[in-house]
Structure formats: structure tokens, C-alpha cells
């Protein structure tokens, strides 16, 4: 049994180390490693030969940990309070106290399966760890043993306490468990956790069948408080597409042909008719995961503004797009932010907002032009 438990813990740790990097690389919003504190209270259950309700006792825990990635974390804490069991012959209850120091590795099953999402409220996690159990105040069991010996009846001498201990004892422990958390805010989460602690057969002063290990199980409710920000709001920006300059073709000078001056005929000047420039569509590009207009794109906004001022009867449509990386919902929001950023810039240049229509299309398809993935298309309506 001990070898199986150790093998399970080793496989659990290897699996978590393997998936940590994978979860980080697919985050559309960067995760921020942080420390946390986790107080918990609840009820404990010691596996024994009595009714379920007769084996319940109070339990509590206090842990401090570090969340290294959206999937993997470590925590160090102390748990315990009281354990409760019953002797068989004669039937009598006895209790003892304990405090257990724990080192647990945790893995977020939610982020492992569906990826990190800063808007998600629920989180289901698993845990595995080791502990050092400090047991003390085993007075009830020792008193029952003394009473049994005083009867002088051989069948009641030990009362089932074949592995009785006294004073303070240290026992190794292994742990497995799972829990669920609900985020009340970015830094505070309400949680419910179950953990099972396996201990040597001597822990409850009794000898189990075939020297079976002792089990102490806990159901705890508590809060998890992050001691720092849990995510980065600054995103890695993708460089703009590089446009290669067109090759310069050197033209040979044409021969100069001297012409005789033609007689000057005075003409009346024709009335000057100002021609309005014709525009159909202009594309404004953005950096990756950004809705801020680049300085290099400001001239395009100026050109559109001048055209709209010269053509008071024209209206335009601003269509935003985003690249296909990250979550679809986020890309849809980003495309709308980009379209609104261009509209705001045009309004600031004196264009009436009622003449501007905005829309966000989200992601481009696989076959679309790569240059349009981070673009806003400004289309002039006829």
C-alpha cells in the first residue's frame, strides 16, 4: 500500500510539471505568479468500527502557498485538531489531538483542460502531498486500557489497544484530495476542499486487519486570499507587417528637342473648379492585442477627416478586425475597441459622430490576408 501511494504521488508531480509550460503558452492574457494565504475550518472523519456520525470531529487548517502558473502551485500549511474513535470490547469512545505539517502540490484541472481564462469564476483543483503528523494527548485510550486491566478478565485486558502510545508521537503522512473554488473578486475566492490523510497503523493505538493503514479524512470550507495581482494586463505586442519597398527603376533622360516659341495667345482664365478627392477604403493597422492608434497611422486619420470635411454628404463605416490568436470572445471585443478608437480620433478632428458607423468583426479566417488581421477598414459610403 505504501509503495502504491508513493508511486501515485510521483506520477502526479511529473504530470503537473509537464503541463505547466503548455498552459502558460496558450494564455491570451498573461498570468501573474503570486503568493496566497488559505484559512479553512470544517469536520474530520476517522475511519473506524463505529457509525459515521460517531467518528466525526472538528478540523481546521492554515496554509501559505505560491501559484507559479495557471495550472501548478505549492502550499505549506498546518492542519488538525482532534481525532475520534471507539474501542470494540467494551464499547467506549476515546479521543486524541494532533497537528500535521503539510507540503501540498496543487493542479488546476479547469485551467489544465480548458486553458487560462481571467473571466472564469469557477476552478476545480486536485492536490497531493506529504506531511508530518504530531499526535498528543492520548489520555482517553490510556485510561480505557487501565480500566480494562483492572477487571482482571483476559478478554478485556487490552481492549483492542495493541499499539497504544503515550506522550507525543511523530508519524509520517501522505495526502490526496480535491477542491472547488469560486472567485468573489480578483484576489479572494471561496472554496470547499476534501482531503484524505493516510497514516501508520499505530496512529489510533489499535491494530488493523493485516496492519492496514489509518485514514483521517477532512471536509473543509475556507477562503483563498491572493497577496498580489493574479494576472498581467500588459500584453505582448506583435510587430507590424514589414512592407518591402518597390524597386527603383532608373530612367534614361529623353533627348532635349529645342522648339521654337509659339505665339502667345492671351486667353481668359477659366473658372477654377475645386475637385474633391475620391476615397473608397483606408486601412489603419494596430499592434498585436492593442487598440491604441500608432503614430505612423495618424496621417491616415487626417486624410479621412479632410475628405469628410470636403464632402459633407458622405458617411463612413469603420470595421474592426483582430488576429486569430487567443480567445474568440476577447478578439471580438478587441475588434470593437479598435473601431471605436478610430471613430474617437475622427470626432476629435471635427467629424460629427452621427456620420460614423462602427462594427467589430472579431477574427479573420484562415484564408484572409495576413496584413488585415490587426486592421481597421474605413469604408466611405456612397
Determine contact, residues 45/59, Cβ cutoff 8 Å: no
Domain termination site, one of 226, 244, 270: 226
265 is a domain residue:
no
Phi and psi torsions of 300, nearest 5°: -65, -40
- Range of 76's domain? 2-226
275 is a domain residue:
no
Examine the domain organization and report whether 149 and 216 are in the same domain.
Answer: yes
Q: How far, in Å, CA of 252 to CA of 249, rounded?
A: 10
The pLDDT score that the predictor gives to residue 25 is 44
The average pLDDT across 10-36 equals 60
The pLDDT score that the predictor gives to residue 27 is 41
Domain termination site, one of 226, 253, 272: 226
Q: Is the pLDDT of residue 40 over 80?
A: yes
The pLDDT score that the predictor gives to residue 235 is 52
Examine the domain organization and report whether 48 and 176 are in the same domain.
Answer: yes
Q: How far, in Å, CA of 181 to CA of 229, rounded?
A: 17
Determine contact, residues 355/316, Cβ cutoff 8 Å: yes
Q: How far, in Å, CA of 108 to CA of 116, rounded?
A: 10
Packing angle of the helix pair 298-310, 328-348 (nearest 10 deg): 60
Q: Is the pLDDT of residue 344 over 70?
A: yes
> Which of these ranges, 37-51, 238-252, 346-360, has the smallest mean pLDDT?
238-252
**Do the strands 56-67 and 72-87 form a parallel or antiparallel pair, or are they unpaired?**
antiparallel
Examine the domain organization and report whether 29 and 165 are in the same domain.
Answer: yes
237 is a domain residue:
no
272 is a domain residue:
no
Neighbours of 376 (CB within 10 A): 27
The pLDDT score that the predictor gives to residue 280 is 74
Examine the domain organization and report whether 300 and 220 are in the same domain.
Answer: no
The total number of structural domains in the chain stands at: 2
Examine the domain organization and report whether 203 and 303 are in the same domain.
Answer: no
Determine contact, residues 345/295, Cβ cutoff 8 Å: no
- 172-205: pLDDT as tens digits: 999 999 999 999 998 999 999 999 999 998 999 8
- 56-115: pLDDT as tens digits: 999 999 999 999 999 999 999 999 999 999 877 778 889 999 999 999 999 999 999 998
Examine the domain organization and report whether 208 and 310 are in the same domain.
Answer: no
Examine the domain organization and report whether 44 and 129 are in the same domain.
Answer: yes
271 is a domain residue:
no
Mean pLDDT of the chain, nearest integer: 83
Using a pLDDT cut of 70, give the percent of the chain over it: 78
Phi and psi torsions of 150, nearest 5°: -70, -20
Query: Whose CA is closest to 125, among 116, 112, 115, 137?
Result: 112
- 265-318: pLDDT as tens digits: 776 666 554 545 567 788 999 888 888 999 999 999 999 999 999 998 989 999
Report residue 308 as a C-alpha cell: 469628410
Look at the block and give the residue holding cell 496584413. Answer: 371
Examine the domain organization and report whether 46 and 181 are in the same domain.
Answer: yes
Q: Is the pLDDT of residue 147 over 70?
A: yes
Q: Is the pLDDT of residue 19 over 50?
A: no
Phi and psi torsions of 8, nearest 5°: -65, -40
211 is a domain residue:
yes
Query: Which carries the bigger pLDDT value, residue 62 or residue 146?
Result: 62
The pLDDT score that the predictor gives to residue 365 is 62
- What b/e readout covers 159-191, taking b as 16+ CB neighbours within 10 angstroms? bbbebbbeeebebebbbbbbbbbebeeeeebeb
Examine the domain organization and report whether 222 and 331 are in the same domain.
Answer: no
Query: Residue 133 belongs to a domain with what CATH number?
Result: 2.40.160.20
> Which of these ranges, 135-149, 215-229, 232-246, 274-288, has the smallest mean pLDDT?
232-246
6 is a domain residue:
yes
**What are the Cα distances from residue 281, in Å, to 129, 240, 301, 314?**
61, 20, 12, 13
Examine the domain organization and report whether 285 and 222 are in the same domain.
Answer: no
Report residue 153 as a C-alpha cell: 478478565
Q: Which residues have C-beta within 8 Å of that of residue 307, sequence separation ≥ 6?
A: 276, 277, 279, 314, 380
- How remote is the C-alpha of 159 from its chain's centroid? 53
254 is a domain residue:
no
Query: Residue 342 belongs to a domain with what CATH number?
Result: 3.30.1330.60
Report residue 199 as a C-alpha cell: 497514516
The pLDDT score that the predictor gives to residue 278 is 67
Examine the domain organization and report whether 307 and 166 are in the same domain.
Answer: no
Q: Is the pLDDT of residue 261 over 80?
A: no
Neighbours of 243 (CB within 10 A): 7
Q: How far, in Å, CA of 108 to CA of 342, rounded?
A: 40
Examine the domain organization and report whether 198 and 82 are in the same domain.
Answer: yes
The pLDDT score that the predictor gives to residue 107 is 96
Domain termination site, one of 182, 205, 226: 226
The pLDDT score that the predictor gives to residue 273 is 45
Amino acid at each position: 500500500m505504501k509503495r502504491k501511494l508513493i508511486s501515485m504521488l510521483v506520477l502526479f508531480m511529473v504530470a503537473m510539471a509537464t503541463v505547466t509550460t503548455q498552459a502558460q503558452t496558450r494564455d491570451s492574457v498573461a498570468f501573474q505568479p503570486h503568493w496566497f494565504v488559505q484559512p479553512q475550518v470544517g469536520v474530520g472523519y476517522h475511519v473506524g468500527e463505529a457509525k459515521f456520525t460517531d467518528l466525526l470531529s472538528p478540523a481546521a487548517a492554515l496554509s501559505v502557498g505560491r501559484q507559479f502558473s495557471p495550472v501548478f502551485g505549492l502550499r505549506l500549511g498546518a492542519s488538525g485538531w482532534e481525532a475520534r474513535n471507539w474501542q470494540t470490547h467494551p464499547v467506549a469512545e476515546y479521543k486524541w489531538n494532533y497537528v500535521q505539517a503539510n507540503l501540498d502540490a496543487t493542479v488546476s484541472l479547469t485551467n489544465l483542460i480548458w486553458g487560462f481564462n481571467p473571466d472564469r469564476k469557477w476552478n476545480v483543483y486536485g492536490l497531493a502531498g506529504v506531511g508530518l503528523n504530531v499526535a498528543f494527548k492520548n489520555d482517553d485510550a490510556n485510561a480505557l486500557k487501565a480500566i480494562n486491566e483492572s477487571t482482571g478478565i483476559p478478554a478485556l485486558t487490552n481492549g483492542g489497544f495493541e499499539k497504544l502510545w503515550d506522550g507525543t508521537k511523530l508519524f509520517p503522512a501522505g495526502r490526496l484530495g480535491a477542491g472547488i473554488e469560486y472567485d468573489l473578486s480578483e484576489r479572494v475566492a471561496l472554496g470547499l476542499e476534501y482531503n484524505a490523510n493516510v497514516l501508520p497503523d499505530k496512529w489510533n493505538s489499535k491494530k488493523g486487519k493485516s496492519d492496514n493503514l489509518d485514514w483521517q479524512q477532512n471536509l473543509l470550507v475556507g477562503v483563498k486570499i491572493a497577496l498580489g495581482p493574479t494576472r498581467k494586463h500588459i500584453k505582448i505586442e506583435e510587430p507590424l507587417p514589414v512592407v518591402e519597398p518597390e524597386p527603383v527603376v532608373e530612367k534614361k533622360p529623353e533627348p532635349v528637342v529645342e522648339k521654337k516659341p509659339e505665339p502667345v495667345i492671351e486667353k481668359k482664365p477659366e473658372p477654377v473648379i475645386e475637385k474633391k478627392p475620391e476615397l473608397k477604403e483606408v486601412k489603419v493597422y494596430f499592434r498585436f492585442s492593442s487598440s491604441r492608434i500608432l503614430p505612423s497611422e495618424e496621417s491616415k486619420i487626417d486624410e479621412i477627416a479632410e475628405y469628410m470635411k470636403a464632402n459633407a454628404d458622405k458617411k463612413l463605416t469603420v470595421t474592426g478586425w483582430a488576429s486569430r490568436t487567443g480567445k474568440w470572445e476577447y478578439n471580438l471585443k478587441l475588434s470593437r475597441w479598435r473601431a471605436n478608437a478610430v471613430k474617437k480620433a475622427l470626432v476629435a478632428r471635427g467629424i460629427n459622430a452621427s456620420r460614423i458607423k462602427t462594427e467589430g468583426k472579431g477574427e479573420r479566417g484562415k484564408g484572409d490576408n495576413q496584413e488585415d488581421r490587426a486592421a481597421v477598414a474605413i469604408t466611405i459610403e456612397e
